[in-house]
Each structure stands twice: as C-alpha cells, then as structure tokens.
Chains A and B, each alone.
Chain A
Amino acid sequence: MSLVNIAGLHKHFGTNHVLKGIDLAVEEGDVIALIGRSGSGKSTLLRTINGLESIDKGELVVDGTAVHDGKGDLRALRQKVGMVFQQFNLFPHLTAGQNVMLAPTVVKKTAKREAEDIAKEVLLKVGLSDKFDSYPDQLSGGQQQRVAIARALAMRPKVLLCDEITSALDPELVNEVLAVVQQLAAEGMTLIMVTHEMRFARDVGNKLIFIHHGRIHESGDPKTILTNPETPELANFTRAVM
C-alpha cells in the first residue's frame, strides 16, 4: 500500500466543481510537484491532503489514517501530514523556537525538554540554530519560511506538503528555502509541492503532475514530460511559464 492514496476525490466550492475525481498514489520518498494554472485546483488538492479543505466525495488514506467522503479523524491525519504555507503563517507572538515547540508539546504532550531538543535539531537542519529566540518579525522572509518548515518537521510528519512556499519571497531569498527542501528530498522525505519553480520541479522531483480543470491531465517523470509533453495543454502551460 502506498503512503498516500487518493481515490475518486471530488470537491465543490458552491456550484464550482473544483476537483473532478482525482486518483493519486504517493510512495514513500516520492517528491511530487503539482503544477497547473491558477484556479486549476492544484492548491485545493494539496489542502485536502491534510484536511484544510473537506472532501465531498472520495477517499484519502495517509499511512493507514483514512478520510472517507469528508469524515475521519482530521487531527490524526494532520499528525502525519505537515504543511508549509505560501505566507509562512508563523505565530507572531511566539519565538522561532516556541513556534516549533508548540505542536509537539500541546498535541503530542512531549515533555518540554525533549521538545526543546527537537526544536534545536530541526532549526539546525534548516540552518537557523542561532535564531531560536528570535520573533518572526525579526527574521527575513526566507528565514521565516525555513522556521515554518522546521515547525512542520518537528511533528515528524510522514509527508510534507508545500503550498507555493517561495511565491511570497523576494527573488534573492528563494534559493535558501529551495536548498532546504532539496536537502529534505535527498534525505528521503516524502514531499508534495505546489510550485511555480519549474526548474526545481524538474531537478528535484521524481514525479510531475499537471492539473487542468480539476483533473490530473498529465503526469510522469518530470524531465520526460516537460521536454515532451503529450497533451497540448501541458505544452501550452510549459511554454507560458518556462
């Protein structure tokens, strides 16, 4: 059984049918890039995987935790699925270290000392061990996003979702964040990312999924399908963004 299994997933916003039957299997260690035009449903798909968007119909199973037709233990799901947002969403009233420690102590009831060790470890991993006591507004955008990655990692997720995590960054800060993601991929972390960084998707990802009008329109090895798209829609898309 795959790590993430999505079968027949549908999602509506009012009368707008956003996801029209998505089937997707993600294996451990996969690095998947979701691409598509804005409004294609790629972000919505990502957000359903940790329950930020409910599912109208279909099934989602992550490492044995299932959500059927919108019903299931979302908190159990979220303990296995980490998420990094476009706008960082760090908690402004907490330091970087406290941001990272919050969920382990509150949700997993990890002892404070142990949570502190975890926080130091993940902050070291993202190259910010010296920023433990800094507040978010004292950090650059790139640093904030790296703290957000560390915060997600501290929950030891099975899979990490990245929702356009470099889109809100100044160009010169993009690479420091991508470097962290690349390192995670190299260590075998399962990653699903919505991204506009085509080169990154091609070089780091092992699977590329092109979402079009709420369906998986084309998918496969990034290098192959980006060079030789089978569908005219993907060809148009790559021409427009690359």
Chain B
Amino acid sequence: MFVQFTTWDIVRNLLEAGRWTLALSLLAFMLGGAVGLLVLFLRISHNRVAQAFTKGYIEIFQGTPLLMQLFIVFFGLPLLGIDVSPWLAAALGLTLFTSAYLAEIWRGCVEAVPRGQWEASASLALSFPQQMRHVVLPQALRVAIAPTVGFSVQVVKGTAVTSIIGFAELTKTGSMLANATFQPFLVFGLVAAGYFALCYPLSLYAKRLERRFHVAR
C-alpha cells in the first residue's frame, strides 16, 4: 500500500509524537529531580562513604555518553530478569542521567553559600539538618532556580537520543516519516522546529531568571 503524505499529515504525526517527547521530558525531570536531591544530600553529607559513592555516580554519568547509559539500561535490565520496553528504559536512563547533573548543579549552589553562613548557624548551635533547612537551602534555592531551568533544556534534547533504543518520540517518528515521505529536509526541519518550540521558552526563562537574580543581589 502506498500512502501519500500531505504536509499536514506529517505535522500531525509529529505533533502526536511530540507529546511523548514532552511526557518523557517531564517524567525524567521530576523523577530525576527527586533522585538528584537524594544524591545531593549524600554528596554534601559528612559521611565519607556516601560522599565517595555519589561523587563516582556523578562522574560516571557526566563522563559517558547518554546513548551508552541508555544501552546499558536497555540491555542490562533484562539480565536481571526485568522486562524492559523502550519506554521504561528511556525513562529510567534519562532519570538517572538527570539526577546526576542536577545533583552536581545543586551542589555548586550549596557551595556558593558563603562559609560564614555555615559558621554563624553552627555558632548558634543549629544541627546539620537545621543548618540546611533554615540557612543554607533557602539561599541555595534562589541561586539554583536559573541553572535548573536551564538544564531542563538539556533533558528535553536528551530525549532525542532515546529514539535510538526505539522509543517512538519526536525524532524516531521524524526518521520514520522521512523514510516514508522522501522529504527528509522538510521533516527534520519540522522536527528541529518542534524541539526549538519546547526548548527556546525554557532557555529564555532561564536567562530572565538569571538576570533578575543578578539585579536582586
């Protein structure tokens, strides 16, 4: 059967696939944020083992390709007897990837809180969790918002790599459409436009937050 695609058909298919890109981005960002927070706490704790473990965790995810991380999840989990769909592998892989990057970004923000703040709160007899909750995190949070929003762009773009393990998001659908329609220039142009529509507002927002933060200081 030979199907004739109109431009509208292409756009409609891409939009439908774009919902998966969006869903995967949101899921990875939120779960990655939660795991990242845990990694952050271990990373800045006073426990040497936890520090070393999380440092290694972060370095491994930042020092290897996202594609390889996805391959390892995709081919590794079945060895543990877990049946993985591309969707699960994509979500898990991106979540871990996101958690490592966010933990490192946030660690930088915590470290940007001056030493004197730690000392002053310690001299007032606050415990470590109390120091974190009342003095350090509120200040780190203000610094963290802009780079966190900025990193969300990397998450959205990262979802494109999941097409390679067969997850039918925007890029994968684009590849299939390009093959079917013999219009790769148009299709990949539209795919790129789709990502741009998702990412550019986030980039702008991050930039505005950053500027506002610098003015506020």
Interface residues of A (CB under 8 A from B): 50-52, 74-76, 78-79, 81-83, 85, 87-93, 102-103, 106-107, 148, 151-152, 155
Contact = CB atoms under 8 A, between A and B. Distances in A.
Contacts of B119: 52, 83, 85, 89
Interface stretch (B7-15, B20-28, B125-133, B161-169): B125-133
B139 A92 contact: yes
A170 B33 CA distance: 44
20 contacts: A52-B123, A74-B122, A78-B123, A78-B124, A78-B125, A82-B123, A85-B116, A85-B119, A85-B123, A89-B114, A91-B117, A91-B121, A91-B139, A92-B139, A93-B139, A102-B134, A103-B124, A103-B126, A107-B126, A152-B124
A102 B142 CA distance: 19
Nearest to A47: B119
B116 A151 contact: no
B120 interface: yes
A155 B138 contact: no
**Most central of B114, B123, B130, B135 by chain A CB within 10 Å:** B123
Contacts of B114: 89
Chain B contact-residue range equals: 10 to 19
Contacts of B139: 91-93
A79 B120 CA distance: 13
A94 to B, nearest CB: 8
Given A91-B135, A93-B139, A155-B125, A107 B130 contact: yes
A88 B114 CA distance: 12
Interface of B: 114, 116-117, 119-127, 130, 134-135, 138-139, 142
Contacts of B142: 93
| Shortest Cβ-Cβ A-B pairs, 7 listed | A89-B120, A103-B124, A89-B116, A78-B125, A83-B123, A79-B125, A75-B125
Nearest to A79: B125
B120 A91 contact: yes
Contacts of A91: 117, 120-121, 134-135, 139
A52 B125 contact: no
Contacts of B130: 106-107
Contacts of B138: 93
**Most central of B120, B134, B135, B139 by chain A CB within 10 Å:** B120
A50 B142 CA distance: 30
Contacts of A87: 116
B200 to A, nearest CB: 31
Nearest to A98: B134
B125 A103 contact: yes
A112 B120 CA distance: 21
A50 B116 contact: no
